[in-house]
Amino acid sequence: MKFLFLIATFYLSTAPLPSAAQEVGPPNGHLVIVGGAAQDSAIFETFIDLAGGVEASIVVIPTAGGGAEYAQDWGGLRPFRALGAHNLTVLHTTDRAEANSDEFVEHLRNADAVWFSGGRQWRLVDSYSDTATHDALWDLLARGGVIGGSSAGATIQGSYLARGDTRTNTVMMGDHQVGMGFLKNSAIDQHLLARNRQFDLIEIVEAHPELLGIGIDENTAIVVTGDQFEVIGQGYVAIYDAGRMIDSGGQFYFLSPGDRFDLVSRTGLTLQDDWVPIERVVERNWDEN
């Protein structure tokens, strides 16, 4: 792992270019994007804190898992309940007409946060993309809410849908290629090092050099606020930037927990740069609530 740390240290820039307006992350709210197999309770704590604390209204969408039905006592709620969150709603459909209905969307209109669980990301596209549910998710962010997700629930948040093929998850550029786009100009992969996937995003970035590739290892997350993110958890995040590949000859580089990154200039942030620590973001949300 020392080698990975040296790569990350070499590539992090200390002078990101200023951004006059948010261009990649959502203008309001936060994203918590997890690489799968989340065991670090700090990841869920951050999500709950950004949502407003244990009293927050959290909607969990398990549709990527492929089940026909999910009960309100579904086991996937355990990580949230373990931390004291109790205002939890399981929301699921595979019927786009239902996803467009007022009754279904009403659950999201009163939510502080939404969490997408794992499975296959194309199922989320088929059920929710370009529906009233999708619009309600954007409205949630607009009012300062939080969207999080793990594994498939991470990839769905990008604009390009990596591993979106309905036949197999080994095809990077498949029959579904459009995500929900909460993080613009990006392709997100998960289970990065645990499944030896660190070279897989290169195919997408070479075909679409305008995209930023973000590979997230298991038990690791990025927390996006505006056009910046912070790495939390226990593993690494790989960055795939076509412009930097040409300049440096490298194919990707790594960020470690605690590292911050500017999504517009595509450079790392140091302690001297203008970033807002997650702790201060959480305190601000508590004050606002």
Q: What tens digit of pLDDT does each residue of 159-208 get?
A: 999 999 999 999 999 999 999 999 999 999 999 999 999 999 999 999 99
Note the pLDDT of residue 288: 36
Residue 157 within a domain: yes
Would residue 21 count as lying in a domain? no
Look at residue 64 in the predicted model and tell me its pLDDT. 98
Residues 134-155 pLDDT 10s: 999 999 999 999 999 999 999 9
pTM of the model: 0.88
pLDDT of residue 250: 77
Rama region for 120: left / alpha / beta (φ>0; ψ in -120 to 50; rest): beta
d(CA 270, CA 16): 9
CB 201 within 8 A of CB 172: yes
From CA 125, how far away is CA 120, in angstroms rounded? Answer: 10
What pLDDT, on the 0 to 100 scale, is given for residue 2? Answer: 35
What residues in the chain have per-residue pLDDT under 50?
Answer: 1-21, 280-289
**E strands present in the chain:** 30-34, 58-61, 88-90, 113-116, 146-150, 158-160, 183-189, 212-216, 220-225, 228-233, 237-241, 253-255, 260-262, 267-269
* Structural domain includes residue 19: no
| CA angle in degrees (0–180, nearest 5) for 148-158-80 | 10
What are residue 195's phi and psi, to 5 degrees? Answer: -115, 20
Q: Give whole-number Cα distances, 265 to 12, 185, 197, in Å.
A: 12, 13, 25
Count of the separate structural domains present in the chain: 1
Report yes or no on 33 lying in a domain: yes
Nearest to 47 by CA among 76, 90, 83: 83
Q: 88-115: b or e for each residue (b if 16 or more CB lie within 10 Å)? A: bbbbbbeebebbbeeebbebbeebbbbb
Is 100 a member of any domain? yes
Range of the domain at 84: 2-14+26-284
Q: Is residue 20 part of a domain?
A: no
Residue 82: what pLDDT?
A: 98
Q: What is the CATH number of the domain that holds 274?
A: 3.40.50.880
The pLDDT, as a whole number, for residue 245 is 74
Q: Does the residue 243 lie in any domain?
A: yes
